[in-house]
Amino acid sequence: MDIIEDIEKIDHPYKNAVITIGNFDGVHIGHQALFHQVIEKARALQGTSVVMTFEPHPIRVLKQNNHPPLITLYEQKAELIAKAGIDILICIPFTREFASIPAKEFVEEILVKRIGMKAVIVGEDYTFGKNREGTLDLLKTYGKQIGFEVIVVKKIQASNNSADKISSTRIRELVSEGRVAESQKLLGRYYQIRGTVMTGRDRGGRLLGFPTANINLYDELSPKTGVYAITVECKGNKYKGVANIGYSPTFDDHIFTVEAHILDFNDDIYGQKIRINFIKRLRDEKKFLNISELSNQINKDISKARNILSEV
């Protein structure tokens, strides 16, 4: 997949471009189904499949402080879109200036003339252009005037259960409630955070006998505080583990941390990038009377996690 982060560098339109446009936070199974249709349509036209997204998320520019945490940072989003089989990812640097582009100019000058759009595939709630003035009806009108096809895709459901709405908002709710096993059904994969292992407070191994890898969350959605069965990806390998998210109440730190204990592992990975996949929540955080009681509980958590992870 080619990644374009400056549309001025597109020096000629793509052949029969079939495009979908959106934020695609989470790249959940609804997004994946949309990408599949883009790929199939591009194949039918012997053309090019294109995804257009924005960085930063538009709501962060337009509403500034009033925005939700991200399910997927840009790096992971790009990886997942590439994995779906898309030919071209165009990431538009989103600014207030870009947001002020009128709907017709966006369609005619950018999508058609610059990118070469022959078909656009969007969801039922898609809007575009300055002040979201571009409705689906307007897009269809432009399609007839300029000469491109508009395909509107209905939202899919994770199952026959109408409560299983596939949306980024629903996934944020599930993850923030600690219901990571349920979020997996909507994401099509386990919820993941990633970061660089930092020096912690040197007590996981020294005091408790369970060394931990500590990472800081940058801008991601955090699962509810508590203890989780996890897998950890590091240096091309995958390991099983247990993570604690929260404030370490036994030590009265009141400092938010993400600490992962990797099972059967003793390598030095300070400074290494790791990825943590949340498989299932085991329990709430709890304040223990002493370190011995906490250590005993961690042993129980590890035993429970091993049983859960034996099926992953």
Rg for the chain (alpha carbons), in Å?
Answer: 22
Query: pLDDT, tens digit, for every residue of 207-236?
Result: 455 778 889 887 689 999 999 999 999 989
CATH code of 96's domain: 3.40.50.620
Whether 184 maps to a domain, the answer reads no
Among residues 217, 224, 309, 214, the alpha carbon closest in space to that of 271 is found at 214
Q: In this structure, are 110 and 224 located in the same domain?
A: no
**For residue 205, pLDDT beyond 70:** no
Judge whether 281 lies within some domain: yes
Answer yes or no: is 33 within a domain: yes
Q: Of 231, 241, 222, 229, which is closest to residue 283 (Cα–Cα)?
A: 229
Q: What percent of the chain has pLDDT over 90?
A: 65
Interval 91-147: pLDDT, tens: 999 999 998 999 999 999 999 999 999 999 999 888 887 777 788 999 999 999 999
Token digits of residue 255: 């400092």
Q: Specify the pTM.
A: 0.90
Per-residue pLDDT tens for 19-54? 999 999 999 999 999 999 999 999 999 999 999 999
Chain mean pLDDT for the chain = 89
Do residues 242 and 142 share a domain? Answer: no
DSSP 5: S
Residue after which a domain boundary falls, among 153, 169, 203: 153
16 within domain boundaries: yes
If asked whether residues 135 and 39 sit together in one domain, one would say yes
User: Looking at residue 258, which CATH number applies to its domain?
Assistant: 2.40.30.30
Q: Which residue has the tokens 């499949």?
A: 49
Residues 136 and 194 in one domain: no
Task: Please give the Cα distance from 142 to 160 (Å, whole number).
Answer: 36
**Which structural domain range is residue 208 located in?**
189-309
8 and 140 part of one domain: yes
Residue 64 scores a pLDDT above 90: no
pLDDT for 291-302, tens place per residue?
888 888 889 999
- State yes or no: cis peptide before 223, omega within 30 of 0: no
**Do 200 and 244 fall within a single domain?**
yes
Q: Are residues 130 and 249 in the same domain?
A: no
Is 175 inside any structural domain? Answer: no
In a domain, 183, yes or no: no
Residue with the two structure tokens 């879109």: 81
Strands 191-196 and 149-153: unpaired
Classify residue 171: in a domain, yes or no.
no
Pick from 105, 129, 153: which residue ends a domain? Answer: 153
Residue where one domain finishes, among candidates 125, 153, 181:
153
Residues 121 and 59 in one domain: yes
Which alpha helices (H) appear in 84-206, and where do they start and end? 96-99, 103-105, 136-142, 168-176, 180-187
| 290 shares a domain with 206 | yes
